[in-house]
Copies of this chain bind each other. A is one copy, B any other.
Amino acid sequence: METNAETYGKEADVPGRIAAVSIVEAIAADLRSRIFSGDLGSGQSLTETEVASSYEVARPTAKASIEKLVAEGLLDRGTHKTARVVDLGPDSVRDIYLARAYLESEVLRRLARTKAVPQTAVQANRDIAAVQTGAPLDVVEPDMRFHTSLIDAVGNERISRMYRSLVGEVRLCMVRVQSLQLLDTELIHAEHQKILELIEAGQGEAAADLLDEHLGRARERLVAAMGGAAGPEAEHPSGLLSQ
């Protein structure tokens, strides 16, 4: 009952911009944030009826919300089977990080060619530095924003869209990395900073290499923490940063 009020309230009280989103999207957004916050853990089942009754909407509406999240890769389900929050195994994690590296490294090369440093990325990295050391999960949002800013800076609508289709899963990975405290906030910030500097200097290849290292380390440490066999990238930062 007040569940609805809360949901709508959360969007309405955003200042600056009005948002006349549909109910379907509102529910999807709420479920999404509950998944990211860990309120809905891996493997948690979500039946259409449950969602419908807990948000007090009709089942088709709940169904549409669920299908939206399935399309985003946050939920998993087969025909006639109940949707579940995805359970990312080591293989999926590698797949996700490699796809990221694929897109992002090429982005860095292009940005370096014009030496265009997106201000939104600079701001995002400042926000990372400002995060209290005691709240590692707060890093996730600005970290995500840093990377999406770089992608969007290319100015290609389809590329941004493709990256968006990955963002949900990427964020899930980030949450786990931070929950397990696998990476130091300062290191993240410093590497981001160096990447921005390399773009400004027009050294695209070096920026791409550093990004590969940046992502590779997160990837392999996460894989190791999940019980997979870690690759050599899990080690400490190389000399690239300290020059």
Contacts and interface: CB of A to CB of B under 8 A. Distances in A.
A3 interface: no
A124 B156 CA distance: 29
A106 B110 CA distance: 13
Contact of A95 (B157, B165, B169): B157
Interface stretch (A45-53, A96-104, A131-139): A96-104
Given A22-B79, A71-B71, A106-B102, A166 B162 contact: yes
A104 B160 CA distance: 16
Contacts of A169: 158
A66 B60 CA distance: 16
Contacts of A229: none
Q: How large is the interface on A (under 10, 10 to 19, 20 to 34, 35 or more residues)?
A: 20 to 34
B60 A96 contact: no
Contacts of A166: 158, 162
A159 interface: yes
Given A162-B162, A165-B161, A156 B106 contact: no
Nearest to A67: B64
Nearest to A163: B162
Contacts of A79: 20, 22
Interface centre among A95, A98, A158 (most CB of B within 10 A): A158
The 5 closest A-B pairs by CB, nearest first: A99-B158, A162-B162, A99-B159, A95-B157, A95-B158
